[in-house]
Amino acid sequence: MTDTATPLYNPQDLMRAQVRWRMLETVFWVSALLPFFVAETYLVLCTQIAIAALFALSLDLLVGYSGIVSLGHAVYFGIGAYTAGLLAKYGWGEPLSGLLLAGLVAMLFGYLISFIMVRITHFALIMVTIGLCLLFEEFGNQAHDITGGHDGLQGVRMWRLFGTFRWDLYGFTAYAYSLVVVFLCFLVIRRIINSPFGLSLRGMRENARRMPAIGAPSKQRLQIVYTISATFAGIAGGLLAQTTQFVALDALSFQRSAEVLVMLVLGGAGRLYGGIIGSIIFLVARDQLASNNPQYWYFWLGLLLILVIIFLPNGILGGIAHLLSRRKKS
């Protein structure tokens, strides 16, 4: 059809190559099983990482893929955590249904709040999300009778997983449970990102002004992604409540909102694995450094964040991708 000098594209192959499951991904998820065998004492940390990774992934749907910032994402994390925690405290300790409800309640809040979110952009959005977070945190503090306020939610009793597996002290069950849930959520999020809906999210991120001119109902899309994102954040929060059998007020806090954003930006937003890598680096570094002195840890975190932002504006994964593409060219 065309002359032979020009490359012949198969457009469907190009699209398939974009979404293909890569070998490295299998390696990554298989190596997530290693802690069971080689790092038993770190299972608790690994569970925290898995939960943070899911939380960061949920935020990535907004920040990395849709181009909307949120500094209040802990609202949904906290709602999920309190939902799962309260359920278990007041007699329903079944983990799976509890987690599902945590996600659903966060979804409901996400949907309601999305009506505000789609009306504002940029700076106003940052401020409003911070405001919401402070609001919910203070509400959690005032509602002492329900949430336990600053003392946290005590008396969370989880039933055995599938009626069989006890929540052991080492955290075998907790890590296995979290890992499976996070992996399943990851698969769903991956599918969302690689769907036509996901493409339209990237469209909004790349050029919100063009979207209406190609017939895209941007506001409706934003509401949907906001709701989906809140749901996964709620599931992450629910996991934390269930695996620690406790909910601290800081599940809702502004600090948690900021930290998850830092993890995502460190790893690289809009790259699927960015949030995961970011939470591994963040939590491992904190574990190593903060044991001496918390201030010390914040010093290193601040330094790392500044260096990454200046030298790797697309995060650590973005930097690696850049290096690889340069290597390929030369």
Binding site for another protein (CB under 8 A): 2, 6-7, 9, 11-12, 14-16, 18-19, 191-192, 194-200, 202-203, 206-207, 209-218, 221, 224, 228
Of residues 141 and 194, the one with the C-beta less far from another protein: 194
Task: State how far the Cα of 41 lies from the Cα of 169, in Å rounded to an integer.
Answer: 10
Phi and psi torsions of 153, nearest 5°: -85, 110
Q: Is the dihedral of CA 276, 105, 184, 238 positive or negative?
A: positive
Alpha helices in 7-94 (DSSP H): 11-19, 23-31, 35-38, 43-63, 74-89
Of residues 65 and 177, the one with the C-beta less far from another protein: 65
Residue 124 Cβ vs another protein, minimum distance, rounded to whole Å? 21
Q: Is the dihedral of CA 130, 253, 117, 181 positive or negative?
A: positive
Of residues 146 and 199, the one with the C-beta less far from another protein: 199
Q: Which residues, 6 or more positions from 260, have their beta carbon under 8 angstroms from its beta carbon?
A: 52, 55, 56, 59, 73, 74, 77
Of residues 6 and 330, the one with the C-beta less far from another protein: 6
Of residues 200 and 253, the one with the C-beta less far from another protein: 200
Residue 221 Cβ vs another protein, minimum distance, rounded to whole Å? 7
Q: Which residues, 6 or more positions from 94, have their beta carbon under 8 angstroms from its beta carbon?
A: 159
Residue 211 Cβ vs another protein, minimum distance, rounded to whole Å? 8
Residue 217 Cβ vs another protein, minimum distance, rounded to whole Å? 5
Measured between its terminal Cα atoms, the distance across the chain in Å is: 32
Residue 199 Cβ vs another protein, minimum distance, rounded to whole Å? 5
The residue length of the chain stands at: 330
